[in-house]
Structure 1
Amino acid sequence: MTDAEVRDYFQDLYRLGSDTSASLEEKIEQAITIGRDRLDVDYGVLSHTGSGDYEVIGSTIQSGQYAAGSTHDLETTWCRHVVSDDETLVISDAGDSPYSDDIARDVTGLQCYVGASIVVDGDTYGTLCFSGDEPRPSAFGAEEKQFVELLTQWIGHEIERERHYRALDAQNERLNEFAGVLAHDLRNPLTGARGYTELAAESVSGPESDYLQTALDSLDRMETLITETLTLAKEGADVGEREPVQLSSVARVAWETVSPTTATLEISNDRTVQADRSRLRQLFENLFRNVEEHCDAGVVVTVEGTQDGFAVEDTGPGLPEEIAESLFGGAYGKGRRGLGLLIVERVASGHGWNGSVESDKTRTRFEFSGVGVVTDPPRPAD
């Protein structure tokens, strides 16, 4: 094989790996067709053998035996050697080889064969093989064997990735369903508890009234936690359609919603960014709520436009070190972040923004970069 032919083999592999738009079925079809053509043999077949049978998943054979969707006895195929020995099998001329009396030669009629195993998540999924009805004029070379092995590795990675995506989709669907049921089941008794507590509060005064107000505040906090949990479960992935929004308008709406009694809001270097308005408002609300719950009176919160995004900074007293280190890529279990900061992370990652936090005893600064900054006129505030 010439150097140019070797380069062509690996250019084929590169093109296969670069096609991110094709489905798994299309990628398999491309791989077995390219392999068949490059090796200049009659057939290319991808099989699944995990159940003990020889199930044809993809094939260049359009009809009849060994077409896609057909199932055969694994013990009558050349591929059984690949599965049992876990090694690539290369046969250029079956009649002039140690396999001249092999049952696969009689049953399949194939006189040349090269095949390797496909491994998915550490287990043998099946095989990728290329074969012909006649002996090959020239023996399969080392580069051709390596080409087949690299094809099987690539296909194994693609099948593995597809499995993981499907498992993740199913898990997210179950999570969404669970979150909805949980929220419904929690809100029903919560509504009853709030109603009876409000009724009792109307008939008492003095310390008892204060106690009941504390209970109502706790019930309100439970409602917030339920809402935030649903947000994480149902809206934790990519955000919706982005549009030009003005930082100051969204930040002020969020500020009025949270109404922090211990802080004041300032806007610095206002700008318009590309974002999902509702999700950006959630980000601001959760950062402002964090200030309301954890900062002392007199704190100043500044929303500031930066060169490629924006920042939210307060004047203290700062996040605990373990929480700051757990944000934006840190381990969730390292610090008790709470749902609010987790939502902030999800909104940023859903937009594709980069988030960072700096905190000491005098300030906490959340900065978001990689944000599309635009000059288009913003929509009016909500």
Structure 2
Amino acid sequence: MSLDAPRSDPFKSLLQLTAGDLTSEQRIRRAIEVGREYLGVDNGVLSYTGEGRYEVVETSIESGPYAAGAVVDLDGTWCRHVVGSGETVGFADATDSEYRDDAALETTGIYCYVGAPVDVDGETYGTLCFSDAEPRSDPITDRERDFVSVLAEWVGAELERQKHYTELREQNERLDEFTGIVAHDLRNPLAGAIGFTELAQELVSGQAADFLGRVRNSLGRMESMIAECLILAKEGADVGERTEVALEALVRDAWDTVQTRDAALTVDIAPGTTVVADQMRLRRLLENLFRNSVEHGGPGVSVTVTGDERGFAVADDGPGLPPAVESALAAADTENVKSFGLGLLVVQRVVSGHGWDLAVESSDAGTRFAVTDVNTAEPIYHDLDG
């Protein structure tokens, strides 16, 4: 191919791959075609070179030892030089290069070759190479070498993305299995323990009844923690189904489910205020904020909930959050928030799952959690006839 011959811009073709609605395999195959067409050679091959073998992953070659899925000895290929040096190797005519006496010339029958290493997660995965059984009259230019290097980097990034997607899918499958175990295998015996404890409480009095009461409270807390773990397993992505929820009624309902001791609740919500939300998860958010206020606010803490169509806030007059907790919440630092208990992590995940904004203000005079941008999504309803 003459260097003066008109060519399409290969970098523009590469950008078009990322914009196209293609699978990962289709993008890699198209990338091989882009490189092959640009270099004017017959063959393009993506290989895996782990464990001393040369395995063909994707290729333009339809038959023979370098067809898709074929495995050959790496030592008999030109690509061994790429793997050994970690750099791009190329020549237009092997007989007119430093590789004129290389054994690969006989084993492959390839005279024109350009190959670059493909790295995945910082380690050599294999090579991306382009070749031809006939020498090329024009020398391999620096621009062509650079393009093959860039193309190999792009393919490596695509393989890395594909690998991470597969790992994430497998993790999600394991997570689904785990949540199923938690939901069924733990909840069932726990429900039995709660039931028999309540029956025993009815049959005794005095100190024994007090002890059973403590057992019942502990079992109830375990039940709440299991529910929180299940919530955490589902949060983080968009919650999906949302409906218009009457905010004041939900606030009062959530308050009634929390052991509030001597705490006092004040509700100042504009009449008719609704929130577009997953009702169950919003209720869980409120329950955890109430529980946090009651547990850390001290005896007789006062909790105030305000709200309108723009959002809502839960405030208390307790001693305030430790600075580390406030900083972690403000930065959405999941790892640090997690270390302060599941409750605040549930709050953070419910907010992020809805796409809302959370602001936290805390001082010696109390703490205020403000949730805004709550009605930006349209309600989603199940089609009961579908």
The alignment's TM-score, normalised by the length of structure 2, stands at 0.84
Q: What SS is found at the alignment partner of 1:373?
A: coil
Deviation digits for residues 163-185 of structure 1 (CA, Å, limit 9, x no counterpart): 22222332232233234335555
Q: Which runs of 5+ in 2 are unaligned?
A: none
User: Given that residues 361 and 367 in structure 2 are in contact (C-alpha distance below 8 angstroms), is that contact kept between their aligned partners in structure 1?
Assistant: yes
User: Given that residues 356 and 368 in structure 1 are in contact (C-alpha distance below 8 angstroms), is that contact kept between their aligned partners in structure 2?
Assistant: yes
Q: What SS is found at the alignment partner of 1:367?
A: strand
Q: Which runs of 5+ in 1 are unaligned?
A: none
Corresponding residue for 1:290? 292
State yes or no: 1:330 paired with 2:333.
yes
Corresponding residue for 2:13? 12
How far residue 139 of structure 1 moved from its aligned partner, in angstroms, is: 1.4
Corresponding residue for 1:319? 321
Deviation digits for residues 187-237 of structure 1 (CA, Å, limit 9, x no counterpart): 455345434433432233334433322221121111111221222234554
User: Given that residues 293 and 301 in structure 2 are in contact (C-alpha distance below 8 angstroms), is that contact kept between their aligned partners in structure 1?
Assistant: no
> Quick one: distance in 2 between partners of 1:25 and 1:345?
37
Letter in 2 for 1:130: F
Corresponding residue for 2:369? 366
How far residue 55 of structure 1 moved from its aligned partner, in angstroms, is: 1.2
Letter in 2 for 1:360: S
> Quick one: distance in 2 between partners of 1:374 and 1:297?
38
User: How many matched pairs?
Assistant: 374
- Which residues of 2 match residues 175-324 of structure 1 at below 5 A? 175-182=175-182, 184-187=184-187, 189-235=189-235, 237-248=237-248, 250-258=250-258, 260=260, 262-269=263-270, 271-295=273-297, 296-297=299-300, 299-305=302-308, 307=310, 310-317=311-318, 318-324=320-326
User: Given that residues 267 and 304 in structure 2 are in contact (C-alpha distance below 8 angstroms), is that contact kept between their aligned partners in structure 1?
Assistant: yes
How far residue 285 of structure 1 moved from its aligned partner, in angstroms, is: 2.8
More displaced 10-residue stretch of structure 1: 107-116 or 247-256: 247-256
> Quick one: distance in 2 between partners of 1:150 and 1:298?
62
> Quick one: distance in 2 between partners of 1:38 and 1:371?
51
> Quick one: distance in 1 between partners of 2:377 and 2:210?
50
Structure 1 residues 186 and 107, CA gap change in structure 2 (3 angstroms): same
How far residue 259 of structure 1 moved from its aligned partner, in angstroms, is: 7.1
Structure 1 residues 370 and 135, CA gap change in structure 2 (3 angstroms): farther
Corresponding residue for 2:352? 349
> Quick one: distance in 1 between partners of 2:337 and 2:222?
24
Deviation digits for residues 304-363 of structure 1 (CA, Å, limit 9, x no counterpart): 2475xx232213213222222222522534774211211122222223334332212223
Corresponding residue for 2:83? 83
User: Given that residues 326 and 335 in structure 1 are in contact (C-alpha distance below 8 angstroms), is that contact kept between their aligned partners in structure 2?
Assistant: no
The alignment's TM-score, normalised by the length of structure 1, stands at 0.85
How far residue 65 of structure 1 moved from its aligned partner, in angstroms, is: 3.9
Corresponding residue for 1:69? 69
Structure 1 residues 117 and 338, CA gap change in structure 2 (3 angstroms): same
% identical aligned pairs: 48
> Quick one: distance in 2 between partners of 1:131 and 1:243?
59
Structure 1 residues 192 and 273, CA gap change in structure 2 (3 angstroms): closer
RMSD: 3.1
How far residue 276 of structure 1 moved from its aligned partner, in angstroms, is: 3.0
How far residue 260 of structure 1 moved from its aligned partner, in angstroms, is: 4.2
User: Given that residues 273 and 374 in structure 1 are in contact (C-alpha distance below 8 angstroms), is that contact kept between their aligned partners in structure 2?
Assistant: no
State yes or no: 1:131 paired with 2:131.
yes
How far residue 118 of structure 1 moved from its aligned partner, in angstroms, is: 0.5
How far residue 279 of structure 1 moved from its aligned partner, in angstroms, is: 2.5
Structure 1 residues 274 and 131, CA gap change in structure 2 (3 angstroms): farther
Letter in 2 for 1:120: V
- Which residues of 2 match residues 43-54 of structure 1 at below 5 A? 43-54=43-54
Structure 1 residues 263 and 377, CA gap change in structure 2 (3 angstroms): farther
> Quick one: distance in 1 between partners of 2:369 and 2:14?
43
How far residue 271 of structure 1 moved from its aligned partner, in angstroms, is: 4.9
Corresponding residue for 2:148? 148
Letter in 1 for 2:281: R
Structure 1 residues 138 and 354, CA gap change in structure 2 (3 angstroms): farther
How far residue 32 of structure 1 moved from its aligned partner, in angstroms, is: 0.8
User: Given that residues 244 and 377 in structure 1 are in contact (C-alpha distance below 8 angstroms), is that contact kept between their aligned partners in structure 2?
Assistant: no
> Quick one: distance in 1 between partners of 2:17 and 2:101?
37
How far residue 127 of structure 1 moved from its aligned partner, in angstroms, is: 0.5
> Quick one: distance in 2 between partners of 1:31 and 1:374?
38
Letter in 1 for 2:325: I
